[in-house]
Amino acid sequence: MTSPVAIIDSLAFGGNGVCRIDGKVCFVPLSCPGDEVRLAVTAEKRSYLTARIVELVTPSPLRVPPPCPLFGTCGGCSWQHIAYSHQLAAKRSIHAETLWRGGRVPGERVGEAVASPREYGYRNRVQFKLHAAPDGLKIGFFRNASHFVEDAAQGCPIAAPAINEALSNLRSVLASFAEPAAIPQINIECGDDEAVATINYIGNDHDAVARFFQGCFHELAPLTGIFLQSGRKSTLRKICGDGYLAYSMPATAPDSPPATLTFRPGGFSQVNGSQNRAILEIVRRMAAFRGHEHLLDLYCGNGNFSLPLAGCVAGITGLEGYGDSISAARDNCRLNGVSNAEYLCTDAAEGVARLAAAGRRFDTVILDPPRTGAAEAMTGLSGLKPDTIIYISCDSSTLARDCGLLARQGYHVAESVPLDMFPQTFHLESVTLLHREQSEVAA
């Protein structure tokens, strides 16, 4: 069915434009608010439709030319065709609506979206897919809604320049590799001065693969290290170069030097370094530390947010389930001369329960959970009696759910700041401040 001309009204979480056809909500990929479009319905559900653009009758003034030749085909970026200022406005609107629907957080408590200093070239971690085709090796990304690899011959516009340079050199070297079909994926990560590739290998001759990359390592600048992985993270092993990546975080106390933080490939790190530093500044402002506080950092990773705050508080306890990240956090304490922090390898919910059972109390809790949120840790969190909770989230829906759970324990949202960690996509980071109700404090 082809519709009469429709006008795209807004953007929805997931990246699609939204219009109405015969009164029914319709989601339209790759559309832009203000577009006049003729559509073909692709699916009809009880409460909504999906459709594709058959004709762009009148383009929206908010449309801009996407710089990537794979835009619209690659399953990654979905908003390169939308002016960046409107991307920010849409993300703020989506975040506010989600918090209201899922957590009854009033819209006036949601701030303006913090723009990324870089709209492109910001991403410091990229996962490339490989396919050994008859006409040559393809290295790029899955086509939208498929496992067909689209070749990113010119690199990725949102990737850091060091990643694209390393990819170009890897592409040349792999032309002489004997088993291209045995490498389905390569991850490239970079710090401030280093770049490391992890080769995912599913063949049987690991030693031969190691020798191959060791022999051509000098051709792979700016890579400073190469790892080989044959399954789970536990199979990760360094085969040449350096094994660590490092980045700096700003000083958060007047007399403190900037922190230098390291992590190993496979450990979590924020993909946008500038916005990572912006989050730290927001956390510092929200926490308003006075020097006597005890800080709990849940899902702490390598100490990314808490360790730079060591000079602002009396003590830090960090909990993280991935052992390599805890090792990095402890190394970072030694590297930065931090003596008032402990980092423990434990599941968040179990760790919180043990701390509560031991009678531990914390003034402030920072948490940065995975996309699935932190519901499993919410029950025990009130037992630690923090006055302040600062929730860093990459998913507004699970944040809203968890804010609802915390509301039942006496915590209310004072402020939520959306932050654009992922320009050109619909994804959003946010920092949310919750305080304990005064009646709960008195109790």
What is the DSSP-derived secondary structure letter of residue 123? Answer: B
Cα 335 to Cα 315: distance, rounded to the nearest angstrom? 17
Q: Distances from the Cα of 219 to the Cαs of 2, 151, 235, in angstroms?
A: 53, 22, 25
Residue type at 240 in one-letter notation: C
Q: Are 415 and 433 in contact (CB under 8 A)?
A: yes
In the block, which residue shows the tokens 């040559």?
136
* Concatenated DSSP letters of 248-301: EE---STTPPPEEEEE-TTS---SBHHHHHHHHHHHHHHH---S--EEEEET-T
Residue of 26, 190, 394, 403 marked active site: 394
Strands 237-241 and 225-229: antiparallel
Distance, CA of 104 to CA of 209 (rounded, Å): 54
| Count of CB atoms situated within 10 Å of the CB of 408 | 10
CB burial string 304-326: b at 16+ within 10 A, e below: bbbbbbbbbbebbbbbbebebbb
CB count in 10 Å sphere of residue 25: 15
The crossing angle, in degrees rounded to 10, of helices 396-407 and 84-103 is 30
3-state SS assignment for residue 351 = helix
Which amino acid is it at 245?
Answer: L
Distance CA 363, CA 369 (A): 19
Q: Are 200 and 184 in contact (CB under 8 A)?
A: yes
Assess contact for 309 and 372: CB atoms under 8 A. no
> Residue 99 in 3-state DSSP?
helix
- Rounded CA separation 196/174 (Å): 16
Establish whether 394 is a catalytic residue: yes
| DSSP SS3 for 280 | helix
Q: Which of 67, 70, 65 is closest to 153 using CA atoms?
A: 70
CA atoms within 13 A on the CB side of 266: 25
Q: In the 8-state DSSP scheme, what is residue 376?
A: H
Q: Catalytic amino acids?
A: 394
